Structure 1
Amino acid sequence: MFQSALRLIYPPRCVSCGEMVERDFALCATCWGQMDFISGLVCDCCGTPLPGEENGEPEYCDECLARPRPWSRGRAAVLYRDKARKLVLAFKHGDRTDLARPAADWMLRAARPILSPGMVVAPVPLHRWRMVTRRYNQSALLSQAIARNAGFTHWPDLLVRTRKTRVQDGMGAEERFANLAGALTVHPRYRERLRDRMVLLVDDVMTSGATLSAAADACLAAGADEVRVLVLARVAKAP
């Protein structure tokens, strides 16, 4: 009765445009149609959409073939452009922490082929000074919701930043990799627990893959058996 009264006063609204929808934390039909959700054949390593049809064999994009990744498999929910880009930026810089809930659902849908029983979920960390200014780590909000919904163990502080890195906007791929080199490490409390475990690393956006590479390298150096990655948005062209 109370919930019904609340819905009459505060009906569910689209998380993007504010139009009324049937359920909480949903997109309206118009906004859903404007989102570049990734589906079909994708790069098995980073989730970039590829031309052609699935044939049961893993395929890889040119970027992952040219620069082998330290992680084994990866997926992305949306392409980082237009409507999706606006939502990611609102989530990351606009205090729209409510977007973590629907974003985690989109990510889990994309991640089904790479999920494995017993894996642990961990976010890419922020440096403590950046955490002070932003007040939350958007990747940690995503990883928390993903772990909860999938029934996996969540280690939100598995990785720590050993130094503050420069903001990577505008950097080329080589600059990004140099900027992140050695910037992440596994927290001492997890070094024994991580041994022989499979890790699902979660981040909001993948551009060059430099941040995820640094995170995966740190996990593998500490004894992780395998690392897979899951991001909300992938910077890439549509096939």
Structure 2
Amino acid sequence: MTAGLPEPAGFPDCPVCAYVLTGTARLCSDCAGRTLQPVVDPHCPVCSQAVAPGGQCGNRLCTLPLQQRGFSRVDAVAVYSGALKDKIHKLKYEGRRGWAMIFGRLLVGWMESHPERMRGVDYVVGNPTHPTRQPIQHIEAIMDAAYTEDVTHVLPLSPPGAHRLVKTTETPRSANKNLDDKRTAAAEHAAALTWTGDTSDIRDATILLVDDVLTSGSQLQHVARRLRASGAADVRGLVLARVPWSG
């Protein structure tokens, strides 16, 4: 990976890595890929959940028509487990900003490594959090870092602070809620979102919606349907981590 230079420390030892400041998105993505739990095959082509050979995905969203599902597919950088789960938690609930930079690199590295998945994408936007979120607006921090780590600026990311999709009203969180309450919270979240640019920009656009974690996909569904109702031709998802289902 780095002939004649120190070896990268490996995820999650990123803070002490020789390349913590100078590493590229591809370097960090390749390095992390050696230790992160990958999304295995076979997996659902819609939500990336692992399935048994010849089996079907148990996610009810994947059986819905596209108009009802909203998103065409969701890809994941890795599975939500081990060190990745821990570091997402460190950023999201403890405000450890250094991990936003690493996660931005992982996302950009994935995008650079999967040009076929990025083909036709007009906008890469984060699934936003409200400005009052504490201890940190983690999605915005990750997206700002991703723009910085895309040094050639070939990806359709927005500059730091210029997020195209924003949340204007705080809504109830869905954590530790039952399924019906989660769906209600997801619908309220989507209703609180605003496209900051000219809404005509959305018309016929392909949007890649980025989030940290995917479990059932209910929130992504509601946000995607909102974007499609505004004229988007296609909404795809990309998450740092896919929560594995048991059973």
Report the residue type matching 2:45 in the other structure: D
Q: Residues of 2 paired with 1:92 and 1:149: CA distance?
A: 28
- Of residues 104, 107, 129, the one that matches 1:104 is 107
**Which residues of 2 match residues 113-124 of structure 1 at below 5 A?**
113-124=116-127
The verdict on how the C-alpha distance between 1:190 and 1:142 changes in structure 2, with shifts beyond 3 A counting, is farther
Report the residue type matching 2:101 in the other structure: D
Q: Residues of 2 paired with 1:147 and 1:166: CA distance?
A: 33
Q: Residues of 2 paired with 1:88 and 1:195: CA distance?
A: 33
Unpaired segments ≥5 residues, structure 2: none
Q: What is the aligned partner in structure 1 of residue 178 from structure 2?
A: 172
- After TM superposition, the score normalised by the length of structure 2 is 0.73
Structure 1 residue 234 and structure 2 residue 237: aligned? no
- SS of the residue aligned with 2:132? helix
- Of residues 172, 187, 205, the one that matches 1:197 is 205
- Of residues 157, 166, 177, the one that matches 1:160 is 166
- SS of the residue aligned with 2:235? strand
Deviation (angstroms), 1:192: 0.8
Report the residue type matching 2:183 in the other structure: F
Q: Residues of 1 paired with 2:212 and 2:63: CA distance?
A: 23
Report the residue type matching 2:70 in the other structure: P
Q: What is the aligned partner in structure 2 of residue 151 from structure 1?
A: 154
Unpaired segments ≥5 residues, structure 1: 1-6, 54-58
The verdict on how the C-alpha distance between 1:228 and 1:37 changes in structure 2, with shifts beyond 3 A counting, is same
RMSD value, Cα: 3.6
Q: What is the aligned partner in structure 2 of residue 37 from structure 1?
A: 38
Deviation (angstroms), 1:216: 0.8
Q: Residues of 2 paired with 1:146 and 1:219: CA distance?
A: 26
Q: Residues of 2 paired with 1:27 and 1:114: CA distance?
A: 16
- Return 213-222 or 180-189, whichever deviates more: 180-189
Q: Residues of 2 paired with 1:207 and 1:67: CA distance?
A: 17
Q: What is the aligned partner in structure 1 of residue 62 from structure 2?
A: 65
Structure 1 residue 84 and structure 2 residue 84: aligned? yes
- SS of the residue aligned with 1:38? coil
8 Å contact 1:202–1:229 — kept in the other structure? yes
- The aligned length equals 224
Structure 1 residue 183 and structure 2 residue 180: aligned? no
The verdict on how the C-alpha distance between 1:213 and 1:201 changes in structure 2, with shifts beyond 3 A counting, is same
Q: Residues of 2 paired with 1:182 and 1:19: CA distance?
A: 37
The verdict on how the C-alpha distance between 1:212 and 1:19 changes in structure 2, with shifts beyond 3 A counting, is closer
Q: Residues of 2 paired with 1:148 and 1:41: CA distance?
A: 34
Structure 1 residue 219 and structure 2 residue 227: aligned? yes
Q: What is the aligned partner in structure 2 of residue 75 from structure 1?
A: 75
Deviation (angstroms), 1:208: 2.2
8 Å contact 2:11–2:35 — kept in the other structure? no
Deviation (angstroms), 1:45: 1.5
Report the residue type matching 1:165 in the other structure: T
Deviation (angstroms), 1:234: 0.9
The superposition leaves residues 50-90 of structure 1 with CA deviations (integer Å, 9 ceiling, x where unpaired) of: 2338xxxxx96220335562111221111111222112222
